[in-house]
Structure 1
Amino acid sequence: MSEFNIPLSRVMGLERTVETGGTTSCTLRRTETTLDARITIENDDTTHHIKVEMGELTSSTTLPRKLATKWQSLRDFLQDLANGRADSGAQSEEAIALMEAQDSVDEVLHAGQIAYVITTVNRDRPLGAVVTNDDGEVCAAVTGASKEHLAEAVRAKLWPVQEGLGECA
């Protein structure tokens, strides 16, 4: 039996979506069948966050924007996923959970602050975040049990309660 593959020229055809972000689809082929991949791309200043759905299988990867071989890396990732050589679903779920936690934490930041969200070894609080300002100074370092808990812990460190008001300033 042959393996699913995608010509590099087709992957390079995804260039616009990779550079601008958004959703597209791509067909992988092998002799007896085809497989459609739904690709969602979110970009920031330094990376492409790529989520791929193939039937019931979902996985994700992150590629540096400046990577000269990103098209080959994307092709390899798609082919590995289609051919069952990708990382386990648990790992891809972890990557998606980290992206969602990053989005939740970003919503509570002040202007000029950057959050770095990571996994921890603590089973009760598997997510962590460090927030810095434009000068690289640490403004907050917290852990959380969920993306909501993490965002609330960051908010509590960054948005002090004004005495007597009972509200966040």
Structure 2
Amino acid sequence: MNEFNIPLSRVMVLERTLEHGGTVICKLQRPEASLDAKIYVENDNTTHHIKVTIGPLASSLTLPRKLATKRQSLRDFLQNLANGRADSGAQSEEALALMDAQESVEKVLLIGQIAYVITTTNPERPFGAVVTNDQGEVCAAATGSSKEHLTAAVRAKLRPGEEGSGNRT
């Protein structure tokens, strides 16, 4: 077998990283070569948000925290990416850009607001966001050419006339 695999000892490290979050380097091996996968895990109450970089490839994965097979799912995802069986890098770059835009927009939200960031069909403004409150009412909607532009547009709609630092209040 000439495919990249993750040794069992590294799978256990992946499991700890999933539970606690953070960054880890995972070595994928095959007889004649090895690859390092840089894995960043960010957790919330219900999901693990995972960003992976292997050489020039970047991809992301979201797993439910309660999933009994999450360790194996992450292992399979990494091995598939290393062995060329994953989505194209362009699609993965889009997913990472969306995650970055989501994080950026969340910094300007007020308490009780939720942002939904999506791609649009407009190539000049490829990012879109809708912000709702706890009751599901729309507080703001905007599009932007970059995560910074989108964040500024959302901030302007949520706090008209205010030039703030972008911190949650």
CA change 1:8–1:134 in 2 (3 A) is farther
Match of 2:167 in 1: none
Match of 1:89 in 2: 89
Distance 2:45 2:139 in 1: 21
Match of 1:160 in 2: 160
Match of 2:19 in 1: 19
Match of 1:75 in 2: 75
Distance 2:163 2:52 in 1: 39
Distance 1:67 1:119 in 2: 28
Match of 1:164 in 2: none
Shift of 1:8: 5.5
Q: TM-score, normalised by structure 1?
A: 0.87
Matched-pair contact (CA < 8 Å) for 1:8–1:75: no
- Counterparts of 1:23-42 in structure 2, within 5 Å, are 23-42=23-42
Report the AA paired with residue 61 of structure 2: T
Shift of 1:10: 3.3
Matched-pair contact (CA < 8 Å) for 2:141–2:154: yes
Unaligned runs of 5+ in 2: 165-169
Equivalent pairs, count: 164
Distance 2:11 2:137 in 1: 40
Distance 1:81 1:39 in 2: 12
Q: TM-score, normalised by structure 2?
A: 0.87
Report the AA paired with residue 103 of structure 2: D
Distance 2:133 2:31 in 1: 53
Matched-pair contact (CA < 8 Å) for 1:18–1:48: yes
Unaligned runs of 5+ in 1: 162-166
Match of 1:64 in 2: 64
CA change 1:71–1:8 in 2 (3 A) is farther
CA deviation vs aligned residue, 1:53-87 (integer Å, no higher than 9, x gap): 22232222222222232112111110011101111
Structure 2 residue matching 1:14: 3-state secondary structure: helix
Match of 1:143 in 2: 143
Match of 1:134 in 2: 134
Distance 1:139 1:40 in 2: 32
Match of 2:123 in 1: 123
CA RMSD for the aligned pairs? 1.8
After the TM superposition, which parts of structure 1 deviate over 4 Å for at least 4 consecutive aligned residues?
A: none
CA deviation vs aligned residue, 1:7-62 (integer Å, no higher than 9, x gap): 45632432221122110111112122222211111222332221112223222222
Per mean C-alpha deviation after superposition, the further-off stretch among 22-31 and 37-46 is 37-46
